[in-house]
Every structure is written in C-alpha cells, then in structure tokens.
C-alpha cells in the first residue's frame, strides 16, 4: 500500500509540473563507503553510509505570480534512503511541507520549515559536511531541525541583511506556551564578509520540534566568514546551548580552499567546553554541475556523555537504520574515513 501511495504521489507531481509553470522536481543523492574505528565503542567496521556529506532528499516546489507584486509558493520535501530504499518513518514530507505568500515586503510561509537557527548553523563553516554540522548538532544537544506547525517570515534583503523569524505552535489545547518553538536568524553579506547571529527557544516537550529530547531549550550562535581571495575562505563560530539545564558551548573554526574550478578542499574543527572535539577534513571534486565525488576523514575525541559522532549517517529510517549498532561513544576516540558520490537533479 505504501509503495502504491508513493507512486501515486510521484505521478501526480510530475503531471502537476507539466501542467503549470514555475513547478519543479528536485533532489540529491549521497552514498558512500565508510571505515569507522570503535564504531560501537570497541569494534571497527566498514559499512555503507547514506548522507554523510549532503542529505539524500527529493522534493517539489513551485511559485505562482498573483499580480500586483504578489506571489504564491509551495514546497514539499522528503528523504531518500539510499541504504535501503525506505522512507523516514517521521513522514514522507517531514523536511518541508509549506505554502506561502510573498511580496517586496518579504515572505510568509505556513507549515513545516527548516528551523532558522539550524539553517544558520549549517552555513557557519566555508565547506559544508553533514559529518561536521549535523554530527555536532546532534551530539551537543541543539538538534531541532524542522519546526512543525510553523509560521515563518523571511525578510527582503536590506543593506545586505536578511532575516528569518519563526514560531511553531504546540497545537495542544491547554499546553501553550509549553511545546512551542521560537527561532530566528539574521545574516549580513557584503565585501567578502558574512556575519551571522541566530537563536531558538523551545518551551518544554510538545509536537513542534523534530527532535523532542530534554525539556526547555535555549540556543544561540554568532559567527562569520571572510573571503580572503585566491580561493581561500575562513570561518569562525560560537554556539551556546542550554537543554533542560544541561549547558554546553563550543567554538568552531573552518578553512575552505577552491583549489581549482572543480576541486574544493575544507578543514573544520570544533572544541566544546566539556572536552569533546571534532575534526573534519574534506575533498570534493565536481565531475559536472550535478555530479561530484568526495573523500573525507573525521576524528571525534569525546570526553563527555554528550558524544559527537565522527561521521553522520541517517537514523529513524524504515525499514532499518543506516548502520545497525553504530553510535557515538563517550570517552572514546572514533575515526571515520570514507569516499562517496553525490548526484543532484
């Protein structure tokens, strides 16, 4: 039944894309092989991994010109599990499911949308990898990736600054404000400089967050990037998180180098005040505009119970998890060496 439902959605989507202008189907596939030391705290393994650098996804989005400077938009987005062909058990379109109205004054979106604080964190370092950004987000406790029941405002760019504000309703009678989410970011870009500030506040445990662990949570970050020139870019960030009284902060630094038109090199490093450390070294080579190959080496040196994983792999999947038995291990040094392929469509 599930396969028939998905097939029907795909056929309807393709028909819609052909019938209307401004509608597109898009996606990304990331599959790799990883050699992980101390994968369960004591055993090494060589395994297939999904989404270790970028997320494997598919989606549909579209816009409509309403006239008088107004436009309508929609976006639905879900996961592709390259390891098993399954879907995320949290929903076909758990990543994005929103509709909105926009004008020169900005855009209002209603529905599931990426948390602005998480979006800002993902953009802190010059060269992105899930095995750095998501691994640290999960390990250090500020993972609230997608906000449910959300109202999101995206501002126009004014003097180089763009901002997002978001509210997620608890949708439980008598629970307000418990279960609600408030998040936002502000980003300035100009003269080779990018400055970022963001934060989130979650009230208790409700239906809003995509990662309901702990209780009240407050997270904020600041960071910046500077394009030195000659293909060299430097990044610096600081994140502070209080998750139900468990406080942790970390400093992140990164270097990106565009070695050629096709080759990008990156090094990212994080150190938390609890002693946890994460190093990510990545090389990505573009075979075309849509296909690239990569290799990366990651070191997680954990000194606390808030363990960071050396490589990101998908979890909460159906029918099975990505690598059964694999987990970030406290007070353990874990490494991951891998190579993979990314294709976008």
Query: The CATH number of the domain where 166 resides is what?
Result: 2.40.160.10
Structural domain for 216, as ranges = 2-344
Collect the ranges in the chain with pLDDT lower than 50: 1, 3, 17-19, 211-212
Tokens, residue 8: 């029907």
- Please report the pLDDT score of residue 16 as a whole number: 52
CB–CB of 344/27 below 8 Å?
Answer: yes
Cβ atoms within 10 Å of 290's Cβ, excluding its own: 11
Q: What is this structure's pTM? A: 0.89
d(CA 222, CA 147) in angstroms, rounded, equals 21
Counting the structural domains of the chain, the total is 1
- Please report the pLDDT score of residue 282 as a whole number: 98
- Please report the pLDDT score of residue 215 as a whole number: 75
Length of the chain: 345
Tell me the per-residue pLDDT of 172-228, one tens digit each, with 9 for 90 and over.
777 656 678 999 999 999 999 999 999 999 987 655 555 445 578 999 999 999 999
């Amino acid at each position: 039944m599930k396969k028939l439902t998905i097939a029907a959605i795909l056929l309807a989507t393709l028909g819609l894309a052909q019938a209307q202008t401004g509608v597109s189907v898009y996606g990304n596939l990331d599959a790799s092989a990883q050699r992980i030391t101390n994968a369960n705290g004591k055993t090494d393994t060589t395994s297939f991994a999904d989404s270790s650098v970028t997320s494997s996804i598919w989606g549909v989005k579209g816009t409509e010109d309403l006239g008088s400077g107004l436009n309508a938009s929609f976006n639905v987005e879900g996961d592709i599990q390259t390891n098993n062909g399954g879907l995320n058990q949290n929903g076909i379109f758990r990543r994005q499911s929103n509709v909105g109205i926009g004008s020169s004054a900005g855009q209002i979106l209603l529905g599931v949308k990426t948390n602005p604080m998480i979006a800002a964190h993902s953009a802190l370092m010059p060269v992105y990898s899930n095995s750095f950004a998501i691994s640290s987000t999960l390990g250090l406790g500020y993972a609230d990736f997608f906000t449910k029941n959300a109202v999101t405002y995206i501002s126009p760019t004014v003097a180089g600054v763009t901002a997002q504000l978001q509210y997620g309703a608890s949708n439980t009678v008598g629970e307000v404000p418990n279960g609600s989410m408030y998040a936002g970011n502000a980003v300035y870009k100009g003269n080779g400089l990018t400055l970022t500030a963001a934060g989130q506040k979650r009230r208790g445990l409700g239906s809003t967050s995509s990662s309901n662990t702990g209780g009240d949570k407050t997270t904020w970050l600041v960071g910046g990037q500077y394009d030195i020139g000659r293909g060299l870019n430097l990044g610096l960030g600081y994140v502070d998180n209080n998750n139900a009284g468990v406080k942790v902060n970390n400093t992140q630094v990164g270097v990106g180098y565009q070695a050629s038109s096709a080759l990008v090199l990156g090094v990212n490093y994080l150190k938390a005040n609890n002693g946890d450390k994460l190093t990510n070294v990545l090389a990505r080579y573009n075979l075309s505009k849509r296909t690239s190959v990569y290799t990366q080496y990651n070191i997680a040196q954990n000194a606390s119970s808030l363990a960071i994983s050396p490589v990101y792999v998908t979890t909460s999947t159906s029918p099975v998890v990505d690598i059964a038995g694999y987990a970030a291990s406290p007070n353990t040094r874990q490494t991951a060496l891998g190579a993979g392929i990314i294709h976008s469509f």
